[in-house]
Amino acid sequence: MSPTQKLSKQLWRQLPFFVWLIALWMLLWGQFTVMSFLTGVVAAVVVTRVFRLPPVELSGRVNLWYGAVFVLAFIGALMRGSLTVAWQVLDFRRYPGTAIVAAQLRTDDDLIMTHVAVTASLIPGSLIVESDRERRILYLHVIGVNSRAQVEAQRRSVQEWEKRIVLAVGSRAQVELVRAVERTPAIGRRA
């Protein structure tokens, strides 16, 4: 294989990561304009060429149906989270409780863990404060939590985001793992 072919193959493998960096740049700036796209391209080139990052191994699998389900659920969670946080701010009768919630992920993949962390942080009312890569645990600071049941609901919500992401872009083995964990009874399952 010639050096040109190797470079071409490497660029095609990094294309989804490159596109994701541009989209992330535009989301961070909150603008979907030509200028933010062009500056996102420059930022993505700098990140991928200047910083020596290990190659990201993508599953090569994209399920458009589950991708659409993820996007719609995410938009709904954004709206619901925004309204909930606004109500908590305006409701002077009670203090919205807070908690640090540890959410155990089921898959052992850095990219999936990163997608779950970004998704959980973008939803108003929760923010990732730490991630334990070795044990696959995300720690979230959550507002509006006043009971143990609400803490468990938040933990299940993070695991549900993981499931949606795995179904949309995870490998077949990850999809099977997530589905197998769902089929097992809740007793004895690590939280």
Over the stretch 137-182, which tens digit does the pLDDT of each residue have? Answer: 999 999 988 899 999 999 999 999 999 999 998 888 888 888 888 7
Looking at this protein, which amino acid is placed at residue 42?
A: V
Q: Which residue has the tokens 């938009």?
A: 75
pLDDT at 57: 61
Over the stretch 88-141, which tens digit does the pLDDT of each residue have? Answer: 888 888 888 899 999 999 988 888 999 999 999 999 999 999 999 899 999 999
Statement to judge: residues 25 and 74 lie in one domain: no
Model pTM score: 0.69
Q: Is residue 11 part of a domain?
A: yes
Statement to judge: residues 152 and 178 lie in one domain: yes
Going across the sheet that includes 137-143, the strands are 98-104, 137-143, 126-132
Statement to judge: residues 85 and 134 lie in one domain: yes
Q: Is residue 159 part of a domain?
A: yes
Statement to judge: residues 43 and 78 lie in one domain: no
Statement to judge: residues 95 and 153 lie in one domain: yes
Statement to judge: residues 93 and 131 lie in one domain: yes
State the residue range of the domain holding 43: 3-50
Query: What total of structural domains would you count in the chain?
Result: 2
Statement to judge: residues 33 and 70 lie in one domain: no
Statement to judge: residues 103 and 179 lie in one domain: yes
Q: Is residue 25 part of a domain?
A: yes
Q: Is residue 167 part of a domain?
A: yes
pLDDT at 12: 67
**Radius of gyration, CA atoms only, the chain:** 19
Q: Is residue 114 part of a domain?
A: yes
Statement to judge: residues 7 and 101 lie in one domain: no
Contacts of 11 (CB under 8 A, 6+ apart): none
Q: Is residue 73 part of a domain?
A: yes
Statement to judge: residues 32 and 108 lie in one domain: no
Residue 167: name the closest of 181, 153, 186 by CA: 181
Statement to judge: residues 153 and 76 lie in one domain: yes
Over the stretch 59-82, which tens digit does the pLDDT of each residue have? Answer: 667 889 999 999 999 999 999 999
Statement to judge: residues 139 and 68 lie in one domain: yes
